[in-house]
């Protein structure tokens, strides 16, 4: 963990300064600053990764977020809910490949209640020795609301049943102005932060994510970074921050835009007009800028992940000189980003070679960033 007292004499970037950096900074100067900070926090020149599998237990989801290509309605021919046996088989394969974690998350399924999740966690833990990194804040809130329990009560029960840590999914941009447009039915920023705070207070570690490159402005990105930094000041429970860019393929947002290109702007509704401010897909330069700024702004979060799943291996390699010190997961399986048509497939060996070629020592880690093996 970063020792908060060691930062006392270090100048902390203000919101105003963050905004100025984002808008005006020269890319390479920004990269150099973030690389210097990465070196200070990780002087041992190691870049870590984890062997795990994303298990999306269901794609049925009532939220229908406009940026998401993964969800299906119940009854859709492509809708699914994995059986427990399918799920156990995937976990067994993960362990056989040296995996130490499963990232289990899915849509908000209208027919699954708290007992389903509790039984599932119990059954996994009774069969396998593996870290369960599961259920992002929208799922936790949905389970809580359906059971008429508080977030804390729900998390306590899930933790007792075997949930170890929580992924930062569902954050998108922690600005309700943006959420209202891209995912109007999803929990608002305050609830996302509340789930994370309660989890940290119960001793669970979590990650934080940010999806940018839709309709947000620079101010929204700063608001997001500031909300995450403020919570980390209070709880110190985030292990890592993972920014990634909106992947438009097969989403409602991208379909809207293709319709707009055939319409007069005057005929658009207010809602549709707001979508015209979409600035996707984010370019490589925008990704690197956001990544570097995240490294600088989040002075109390130790690890910043490069996202090869959305950016590809080559840009993720460059990201290691723009503040990232972790390569995320080998992703034995990935379904959510793949639904947008973006599908980078890499092996553990590819990741190791990519890290080595960038001048770093690759190391496999666990969920809590403890090193398991050097390569």
* Subset of 172-191 contacting ligand SF4 (CB under 6 A): 183, 186
Q: Which DSSP string do the residues of 119-188 spell out, in sequence order? A: HHHHHHHHH---EEEE--HHHHHHHHHHHT--HHHHHHHHHHHT--EE--TT-S-S-HHHHHHH-TTSPP
Interface stretch with ligand SF4, choices 62-70, 210-218, 254-262, 353-361 (CB under 6 A): 62-70
Contacts with ligand SF4 by CB under 6 A: the residue count is 12
363 in Cβ contact with 326 (< 8 Å): no
With beta carbons less than 8 A apart as the criterion, state whether 293 and 15 touch: no
Q: Residue length, the chain?
A: 375
Interface with ligand SF4 (CB under 6 A), residue from 61, 228, 292, 306: 61
CB atoms within 10 A of CB 177: 15
CA gap 163, 160 in Å, rounded: 7
Distance CA 42, CA 48 (A): 11
The verdict on 140 binding ligand SF4 (CB under 6 A) reads no
Min CB(63)–ligand SF4 separation in Å: 4
The window from 60-68, 126-134, 202-210, 259-267 that contacts ligand SF4 (CB under 6 A) reads 60-68
What is the footprint of ligand SF4 within residues 232-261 (CB under 6 A)? none
Query: What spatial distance separates the first Cα and last Cα of the chain, rounded to whole Å?
Result: 24
Among the candidate windows 58-66, 191-199, 295-303, 344-352, which touches ligand SF4 by CB under 6 A?
Answer: 58-66
> Of 68, 171, 331, 332, which one interacts with ligand SF4 (CB under 6 A)?
68
Q: How far apart are CA 210 and CA 278, in angstroms?
A: 16
Q: Nearer to ligand SF4 by C-beta: 64 or 146?
A: 64
Among candidate residues 184, 144, 145, 151, the one with its CA nearest the CA of residue 63: 184
Candidate residues 15, 42, 64, 348; the one interacting with ligand SF4 per rule CB under 6 A: 64
Of residues 142 and 360, the one with the C-beta less far from ligand SF4: 142
Asked whether 235 and 200 are in contact (CB, 8 A), the reply is yes
Sole binder of ligand SF4 in the list 22, 49, 57, 71 (CB under 6 A): 71
Give me the least distance between CB of 252 and ligand SF4, in Å please.
10
Among 109, 105, 113, which Cα is nearest to 53's?
Answer: 105
For ligand SF4, which residue of 21, 47, 108, 221 counts as binding (CB under 6 A)?
108
Residue range at the interface with ligand SF4 (CB under 6 A); choices 63-71, 207-215, 261-269, 295-303: 63-71
Minimum separation from the CB atom of position 59 to ligand SF4 (A): 7
Q: Which residue, 22 or 70, is less far from ligand SF4 as judged by CB?
A: 70
Binding region for ligand SF4 (CB under 6 A): 61, 63-65, 68, 70-71, 107-108, 138, 183, 186
């Amino acid at each position: 963990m970063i020792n908060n007292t060691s930062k006392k004499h270090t100048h902390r970037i203000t919101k105003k300064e963050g905004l100025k950096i984002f808008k005006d900074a020269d890319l390479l100067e920004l990269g150099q600053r973030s690389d210097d900070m990465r070196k200070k926090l990780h002087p041992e020149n190691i870049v870590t990764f984890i062997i795990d599998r994303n298990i999306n237990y269901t794609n049925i989801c009532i939220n229908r977020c406009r940026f998401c290509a993964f969800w299906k309605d119940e009854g859709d021919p492509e809708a699914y809910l994995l059986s427990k046996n399918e799920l156990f088989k995937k976990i067994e394969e993960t362990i056989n490949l040296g995996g130490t974690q499963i990232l289990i998350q899915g849509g908000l399924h209208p027919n699954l209640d708290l007992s389903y999740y509790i039984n599932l966690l119990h059954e996994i833990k009774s069969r396998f020795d593996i870290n369960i990194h599961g259920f992002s804040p929208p799922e936790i809130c949905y389970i809580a609301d359906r059971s008429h329990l508080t977030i804390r009560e729900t998390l306590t029960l899930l933790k007792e049943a075997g949930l170890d840590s929580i992924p930062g999914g569902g954050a998108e941009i922690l600005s309700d102005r943006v959420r209202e447009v891209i995912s109007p039915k999803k929990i608002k920023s305050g609830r996302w932060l509340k789930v994370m705070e309660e989890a940290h207070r119960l001793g669970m570690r979590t990650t934080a994510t940010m999806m940018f490159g839709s309709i947000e402005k620079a101010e929204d990105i700063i608001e997001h970074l500031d909300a995450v930094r403020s919570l980390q000041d209070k709880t110190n429970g985030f292990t890592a921050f993972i920014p990634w860019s909106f992947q438009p393929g097969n989403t409602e947002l991208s379909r809207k835009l293709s319709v707009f290109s055939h319409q007069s702007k005057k005929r658009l509704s207010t809602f549709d007009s707001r979508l015209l401010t979409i600035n996707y897909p984010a370019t490589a330069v925008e990704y690197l800028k956001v990544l570097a700024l995240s490294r600088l702004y989040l002075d109390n979060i130790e690890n910043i992940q490069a996202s090869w799943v959305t950016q590809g291996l080559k840009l993720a390699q460059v990201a290691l000189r723009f503040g990232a010190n972790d390569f995320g997961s080998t992703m034995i399986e990935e379904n959510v980003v793949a639904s947008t048509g973006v599908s980078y497939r890499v092996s553990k060996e590819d990741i190791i070679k990519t890290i080595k070629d960038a001048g770093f020592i690759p190391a496999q880690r666990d969920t809590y960033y403890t090193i398991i093996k050097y390569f």
